[in-house]
Chains A and B, each alone.
Chain A
């Protein structure tokens, strides 16, 4: 130790500064890693290793009690060729995502446009419209939804008053799935808030210039609002699609954990849960999880690659 310190002292000035510079960089690196170390440890322990484990398990038969036995592609083969419930859950989930997400975003945008005025009541309206989104993931709301759509619930009362025929929402699988989709659309609030923030960011001068040129409201919407908002729409679409794919609580509560009637509300996450933690087919559940990861990955990739055709970025500096 001492000799090294002495040696260093003898070195020429240039070397001393380079050494101190190097040691400063090392110290900087160490400090940096010290601060983000909780993330790295957590990522390795709770995400990375589990993902690898999940991939391995997906090629095994495992029930938590006996040790896993390697069965190759059997889980994947069974999933696609011998498990109609799997196809059902995939179908139900795709309908849920492809109907629910666009409807939810359309609602969010519509209300955001209506609230993008100078009225003093906007703050209150914003909060009121956001509330469903805030409580929507809770068991309490799922219970409420179950009863609102019950045979004697208020939805049927309204249908009856309007002279329409009432619907037995729990009596047929399609109606039950739409009940879930309506619940998802009902929670448009958080997307609406993001759209509102995006709308506030569009310079007023653009609209003024358009007015001078004689553009009407619809033209302004399609030529200014929509292009300017497209990055926000992209962000919302990606996040909402992923979240919709993982929806669990409403399906679990509304169908009392069965995915019924006739597997009409058997969302992917719910079926994965049933396979993994009711039947303890943990290998099979892992294979399901990997297919889900691939589907979500592909959907996200499609959204991002198509985005260059419909997302408009301001040209100043790469964003």
Chain B
């Protein structure tokens, strides 16, 4: 890279934009740094970012969790829920998207329209009846109400995958038909391998949404042994009277780590997912 003098415009631009980026992220940096400060000094020393002294005890304290369940238990619960949900959402959405994007059948436009409407439907409308149905099925206090609906497709992912499949030339399908492939084989052998980038995008968002979700777990999981990380943080907050901010901040940081790691590993998929289909982050 050749060294050349930067113009004043260049400096102004980067100071402005870079400065604003840091300003935006300052609260997150503050949260991270505060998690290394002793609880009783967090707000006293809120002006200075760097902890003095650096301590790890917040993480040790926080990890002890609630009611005899360590934070490890909550992470395990959430991870299990994430994996089960992710597999269900991605596979079912891919199958459904293939049907919408490639197959011709009566009523396709109608069902696609319905799918687009569900995409904009406020979840609150179905929340109460769903709860009643799941309670009649005796599914309360289990992950069934959270995981089983995942196996019937997710409108955002169906939409994303339909868009993606439409960009794949139909000649590939036709060539496969000549080679004697049936519809199912076209799906598994031709389409699935080609839509891997979009599947990855769906998987990443599925992870985010399940990992961060609070309302579903709060409704359906009652016993602390089944709590997810979001619920555990909520419990920390309810016990905030003990003012153990340090531990709460430390565990907040812990729950954000996987989100950041996955983002930096798969940035391209995330950015493309939002840019092309408006998936919300």
Q: A36-B111, A134-B281, A190-B280 are in contact. Are A50 and B126 (CB under 8 A)?
A: yes
The listed residue (B25, B96, B248, B274) touching A190 by CB distance below 8 A is: B274
Q: A36-B111, A131-B28 are in contact. Are A246 and B132 (CB under 8 A)?
A: no
In the complex, A219 has a CB within 8 A of chain B: no
Q: Judge whether A246 and B124 touch: CB under 8 Å.
A: yes
The 7 closest A-B pairs by CB, nearest first: A42-B152, A32-B105, A35-B99, A197-B275, A50-B129, A140-B252, A53-B129
Inter-chain CA distance A194–B248, complex, in Å, is: 34
Chain B neighbourhood of A152, CB < 8 A: 43-44, 46
Q: Is the interface of B mostly helix, strand, loop or mixed?
A: helix
In the complex, B192 has a CB within 8 A of chain A: no
Q: A153-B46, A154-B27 are in contact. Are A51 and B126 (CB under 8 A)?
A: yes
Inter-chain CA distance A132–B23, complex, in Å, is: 12
**Closest beta carbon of chain A to B245's beta carbon, Å:** 7
Q: Judge whether B212 and A139 touch: CB under 8 Å.
A: yes
Inter-chain CA distance A269–B103, complex, in Å, is: 39
The listed residue (A43, A119, A140, A296) touching B255 by CB distance below 8 A is: A140
Chain A neighbourhood of B252, CB < 8 A: 139-141, 143-144
Chain B neighbourhood of A177, CB < 8 A: none
- Which A residues, 145 to 179, have Cβ-Cβ distances below 8 Å to chain B? 145-148, 150, 152-154, 157
In the complex, A125 has a CB within 8 A of chain B: yes
Q: A36-B99, A38-B153, A194-B274 are in contact. Are A138 and B212 (CB under 8 A)?
A: yes
Chain A neighbourhood of B260, CB < 8 A: 131, 135
In the complex, B95 has a CB within 8 A of chain A: yes
A-B contact pairs, 7 of them (CB 8 A): A42-B152, A46-B152, A128-B24, A276-B127, A277-B219, A293-B122, A296-B120
Q: Judge whether B214 and A144 touch: CB under 8 Å.
A: no
Q: Judge whether A292 and B122 touch: CB under 8 Å.
A: yes
Q: Judge whether B120 and A29 touch: CB under 8 Å.
A: no
Q: Judge whether B125 and A54 touch: CB under 8 Å.
A: yes
Chain B neighbourhood of A143, CB < 8 A: 233, 236-237, 248-249, 252
In the complex, B133 has a CB within 8 A of chain A: yes
**Closest beta carbon of chain A to B82's beta carbon, Å:** 14
In the complex, A259 has a CB within 8 A of chain B: no
Q: A39-B158, A42-B153, A135-B259 are in contact. Are A32 and B108 (CB under 8 A)?
A: yes
Inter-chain CA distance A273–B201, complex, in Å, is: 31
In the complex, A28 has a CB within 8 A of chain B: yes
Inter-chain CA distance A152–B44, complex, in Å, is: 8
In the complex, A186 has a CB within 8 A of chain B: yes
Interface size on A, residues (CB 8 A): 95
Chain B neighbourhood of A47, CB < 8 A: 118, 121, 126
6 new A-B pairs (CB below 8 Å) besides A32-B103, A132-B24, A243-B280?
A: A36-B111, A39-B115, A42-B92, A57-B132, A135-B28, A286-B129
The residue in chain A whose Cβ has the minimal distance to the Cβ of B22 is A128
Chain A neighbourhood of B16, CB < 8 A: 114
Q: Is the interface of A mostly helix, strand, loop or mixed?
A: helix
In the complex, B59 has a CB within 8 A of chain A: no
In the complex, A239 has a CB within 8 A of chain B: yes
Q: Judge whether B255 and A139 touch: CB under 8 Å.
A: yes
- Which B residues, 88 to 126, have Cβ-Cβ distances below 8 Å to chain A? 92, 95-96, 98-100, 103-106, 108, 111, 114-115, 118, 120-126
Q: Judge whether B245 and A147 touch: CB under 8 Å.
A: yes
In the complex, A227 has a CB within 8 A of chain B: no
Inter-chain CA distance A248–B132, complex, in Å, is: 20
Chain B neighbourhood of A130, CB < 8 A: 270-271, 274, 281
Q: A128-B21, A249-B214, A252-B214 are in contact. Are A36 and B100 (CB under 8 A)?
A: yes
Chain A neighbourhood of B263, CB < 8 A: 127, 131, 134
The residue in chain A whose Cβ has the minimal distance to the Cβ of B277 is A194
Inter-chain CA distance A307–B68, complex, in Å, is: 56
The listed residue (B127, B158, B237) touching A256 by CB distance below 8 A is: B237
Inter-chain CA distance A52–B17, complex, in Å, is: 50
Q: Judge whether B256 and A64 touch: CB under 8 Å.
A: no
In the complex, A70 has a CB within 8 A of chain B: no
Inter-chain CA distance A109–B44, complex, in Å, is: 38
Q: A36-B100, A252-B214 are in contact. Are A282 and B158 (CB under 8 A)?
A: no
**Closest beta carbon of chain A to B98's beta carbon, Å:** 6
Q: Judge whether B208 and A38 touch: CB under 8 Å.
A: no
> CB-defined interface of B14-32 with A at 8 Å, one 1/0 digit per residue?
1011101100111110110
The residue in chain B whose Cβ has the minimal distance to the Cβ of A195 is B275
Q: Judge whether B151 and A38 touch: CB under 8 Å.
A: yes
In the complex, B130 has a CB within 8 A of chain A: yes
Inter-chain CA distance A238–B123, complex, in Å, is: 16
Q: Judge whether B111 and A39 touch: CB under 8 Å.
A: yes
The residue in chain A whose Cβ has the minimal distance to the Cβ of B251 is A140
In the complex, B128 has a CB within 8 A of chain A: yes
The listed residue (A54, A136, A269) touching B126 by CB distance below 8 A is: A54
Inter-chain CA distance A257–B167, complex, in Å, is: 46
In the complex, B70 has a CB within 8 A of chain A: no
Q: Judge whether B96 and A39 touch: CB under 8 Å.
A: yes
Chain A neighbourhood of B72, CB < 8 A: none
